[in-house]
Amino acid sequence: MKIVGLSGSLRRGSFNTALLRAAAGLMPEGAELSVETIHGIPVYDGDAEAAEGIPPAVAALKDKIAAADALLMVSPEYNNSIPGPFKNAIDWLSRPPADAGRVFAGRKVALIGASPGGFGTILAQNAWLPVLRTLGCELWTGGRLMVSRAGGVFDAEGALTDAAVTKMLRDYLAGFVAFVGK
């Protein structure tokens, strides 16, 4: 089983990118998580799309998602909602509308996140719901993972060091993989 993982953060020291890398190392047997990036995706501009088409970084990522069995989105929470760069990437990935179904319709998706604050990423995860519903994704709701106080669960190199969070992530991934395999 092949799953594409995307972090919605561009920051080098991102807790969400660190959480995605940790997930790649904790996948259940028989499942592989490919860590992909939204780096290189320009700000969406309909005029640029009409004049130049889909940017190469977008086209490549669309193909990777379309070829995968599922998508794991690791979303930060900015100002109690979806981070602009991540939403922008998803907007590009849904272009042109005739191709959006190939990438998203019926795609099994899971959503997790990490935050330095005490509430995790609950508001960002909730804000993603109408977007994913509009795109026709099949969101796994059998579990939730919101890592709060993320500064204390990763070391300086971004490795996950908290045993409880590691167990929660491993259990979450096992549930998601079982969902995708149905």
pTM for the full predicted model: 0.96
* pLDDT at position 24: 98
Which residues in the chain come in under a pLDDT of 50?
none
CA distance 142 to 179: 8
User: Number of folded domains in the chain?
Assistant: 1
> Which residues form the domain of 120?
2-181
List, in sequence order, every residue forming a beta bridge with 72; answer none if it has no partner.
Answer: 5, 110
Question: SS3 for 43-100, per residue?
Answer: CCCHHHHHHHCCCHHHHHHHHHHHHCCEEEEECCCECCECCHHHHHHHHHHCCCHHHH
Tell me: the pLDDT tens digits for 9-44? 999 999 999 999 999 999 999 999 999 999 999 999
Residue 149 sits in a domain whose CATH number is: 3.40.50.360
Residue 9 has what pLDDT?
96
Residue 79, pLDDT score: 94
Alpha-carbon gap, residue 75 to 31, rounded angstroms: 21
